[in-house]
Structure 1
Amino acid sequence: MTLPICPCGATHRRRPLAYADCCGRYVEHFDAEPAPSAEALMRSRYSAFVRENAAYLLATWHASTRPAQLDFEPGAKWLGLEVRAGAQTGEHSAEVEFVARYRVGGRGVRLHERSRFVREQGRWYYVDGDLK
């Protein structure tokens, strides 16, 4: 039996990781296993967008900027994620630059963002980002 490949595209020894061994452990078990880094959180949030898991996305969004609800683009097909850079910007803060691609209504969309994250009580949260 082949396990589904993780949407975030992470690999180990040039082999794609299974969702359960990658982002799935954070997305499906948020209460028990928080993402260990800002990049891991960003990757898991991408996977949650692909799987339309609003509960995880809202739970990992910092309370200061979290929307009341989340709507997904109808018919969006996520095509891939490229992590361009990541850096710790303070003891409890980090930034991750990424490009996510998706298609909706036959049109390709490229989302290039530098996201900001904070760590509170051992958990990373998405705060906001600047589109490039």
Structure 2
Amino acid sequence: MTRRSCPCGLPETYEACCGRFHSGAAAAPTAERLMRSRYCAFVKGDAAYLLRTWHPRTRPATLEPDPGTRWTGLEILDTRDGSAFHSTGTVEFRASYRGGSLHERSRFERVDGAWVYVDGDFLS
């Protein structure tokens, strides 16, 4: 049996990579890892994780990922700050789906020590 790499694009299995963040067994250590885990949550349709990792001041009341969207890949284009030594960070990425792609620069902050998604700008 072949072990597939995590949908976020890193070589670990889902369980060893984003799965541990989704289950709550660990917290994403950087803004980029949170971005990757959120992309993976979109792939898996895990709205609860997406809401849990969204900044309280910008979080929507509900979120229903489109089950018809087939995400096909994530490319990290740039990261600024967002390490263990920062309180904010940005991640620019391109998320591909069947029929197109989404290019965004996302902003992240730490809340009670945990990285959360604040908002983002769509880029062309």
The TM-score with structure 2 as length reference comes to 0.91
Within 5 A, what are the aligned runs for 1:63-74? 63-74=56-67
Q: 1:42 aligns with which of 24, 35, 40?
A: 35
The alignment-based identity, stated in percent, is 55
Q: Secondary structure at the match of 1:65?
A: coil
2:15 matched to 1:20? yes
TM-score, normalised relative to structure 1: 0.86
Q: How far, CA to CA, are the matches of 1:7 and 1:74 in structure 2?
A: 16
Unaligned runs of 5+ in 2: none
Determine which structure has the larger strand proportion and give its number: 1
Moved over 2 A (4+): 1-5
Match for residue 111 of structure 2?
120
Does the CA contact (< 8 Å) of 2:45 and 2:67 recur in 1? no
Counterpart-to-counterpart distance in 2, 1:55 and 1:33: 16
Look at both structures and tell me which one has the larger radius of gyration over its CA atoms.
Answer: 1
Q: Alpha carbon RMSD of aligned pairs, Å? A: 1.5
8 Å Cα contact 1:3-1:19 kept in structure 2: no
Structure 1, unmatched stretches of 5+, are 11-15
1:13 equivalent in structure 2: none
Letter in structure 1 aligned against 2:111: E
